[in-house]
Structure 1
Amino acid sequence: MATKRGLKTVRDMVLSMAVIGAGAGLLYLTLPNNEQQDPVREIGYQTELATAGRAAPYPLVAPDGLSDKWRATSVTYRAQSDHGAVWHLGFMDPGNQYVAIEQSDGDRGKFIRKVTHRAEETERVERVNGQEWVRYEGPKYNALVLKDGEAPGGGDGGEGSTTLITGTASHERLKEMAAALQPYADSTANRG
């Protein structure tokens, strides 16, 4: 009799597991599947731009006039770092490639190597809105680096500051971002 009861318990357990498995499968099939959705979270950056713009020792830049298909994904300002005062604003372009605006008043060469993941300077210069951007190419990131002493939108770039556009996007997308850059109006450095 104990054997019969033991077999019944095993049988009940197997049936219970089958019911639970079927329920879990049904639940999986009926819940929305988010794998097709873009995992990148879009952010706003105007508050950070305003705050950093008042503190930065050089004019910060941000894009103006990009299409809604460009999505801001990251923003940081560090007043003190290994690369001086650093402004970063990252985007996903319409083709889901990464594009970042990077600025620093630290050592130009070290900063460029770090944020471009060691992209190498080429002899090509891209002219965007009357300014010359030096083209960099690398295995991971490409970049456009504004020539010494210039600032996006014209004027002086601030003593020793570096502005560049970098990322996994094509040079055409990097140029599109460079063309949209404008100095932030409330930057301390802009208020003379």
Structure 2
Amino acid sequence: MVLSLAVIGVLVGAIYFFIPHDDSATAEKNAVQTVDTRVEIITARRAAPYPVAAPENLPKTWRTTSVTYKASNDGKGGAWHLGLLDPEQQYAAVEQSDAPAKQFVQDVTLGATKVAGQQAVGGKKWDRYQGDTYKALVNEEPGVTTVVTGTAPYGRLAELAGALVAKKG
């Protein structure tokens, strides 16, 4: 039995030694792939019944990691999502929909609740939300709710919200 364990230990050591692995911070940063959003933004702006918000002139230290637009069958409730990593590798996302605001905000913030105070961003007042997982800034306008949410601090969420430009395609 001891001989079998020794053989297995040598095998495990050889596998560890010969299989490449990188535990550095660079490897962690590169593990999440950056996506190109140009086509998806144009497509969403054409399909959505509301002006779709996407960041413009955001520093290159922000990386886009996911992008989707899901239309609803009835022309209402279409949802826009743009996921990013901020310069400190914290998650932030732009979420938009013309669905009922209360349920939409609950869904995309993972149950965050409204807290006291508002965040001024670009001449608009955004409501603050705080949850166990995500913080969020929420802007409700007629026909569309925009949520900037994630694990990033409120300052980074405000930076992202300030870079948003809503356009209809």
The alignment's TM-score, normalised by the length of structure 2, stands at 0.84
Unaligned runs of 5+ in 1: 1-13, 150-158
Partner of 2:17: 29
Structure possessing the higher radius of gyration over alpha carbons: 1
Partner of 1:97: 90
Note the C-alpha offset of 1:28. Answer: 4.1
Note the C-alpha offset of 1:116. Answer: 0.5
Q: How many residues are paired up?
A: 161
Partner of 2:110: 117
Q: 1:137 aligns with which of 115, 121, 130?
A: 130
Rounded to whole Å, the distance in 1 between the matches of 2:122 and 2:18 is: 52
Rounded to whole Å, the distance in 1 between the matches of 2:89 and 2:34 is: 12
Unaligned runs of 5+ in 2: none
Partner of 1:168: 151
Q: Taking structure 1 as reference, are residues 170 and 22 closer, same or farther at Cα in structure 2, changes over 3 Å only?
A: same
How much is the aligned-residue C-alpha RMSD, in angstroms?
2.4
Structure 1 residues 108-117 or 29-38, which shifts more? 29-38
Rounded to whole Å, the distance in 2 between the matches of 1:30 and 1:94 is: 33
**Amino acid of the structure 2 residue aligned with 1:84:** G
The alignment partner of 2:152 has SS state of coil
**Amino acid of the structure 1 residue aligned with 2:62:** W
**Amino acid of the structure 1 residue aligned with 2:159:** E
Partner of 1:55: 47
Whichever structure has more strand as a proportion of its residues is 2
Residues 92-149 of structure 1: per-residue CA shift (max 9 Å, x gap): 1111111000000001000000000111111211111111101111111000001x32
The percentage of counterpart residues that share the same residue type is 42
Structure 1 residues 32-41 or 130-139, which shifts more? 32-41
Rounded to whole Å, the distance in 1 between the matches of 2:54 and 2:37 is: 9
The alignment partner of 2:162 has SS state of helix
The alignment partner of 1:35 has SS state of coil
The alignment partner of 1:67 has SS state of coil
Note the C-alpha offset of 1:30. Answer: 5.2
Rounded to whole Å, the distance in 1 between the matches of 2:105 and 2:135 is: 11
**Amino acid of the structure 2 residue aligned with 1:101:** V
Residues 13-64 of structure 1: per-residue CA shift (max 9 Å, x gap): x8xx96x986874564355423331221111111111111111000001111
The alignment partner of 1:43 has SS state of coil
The alignment's TM-score, normalised by the length of structure 1, stands at 0.75
Note the C-alpha offset of 1:161. Answer: 0.8
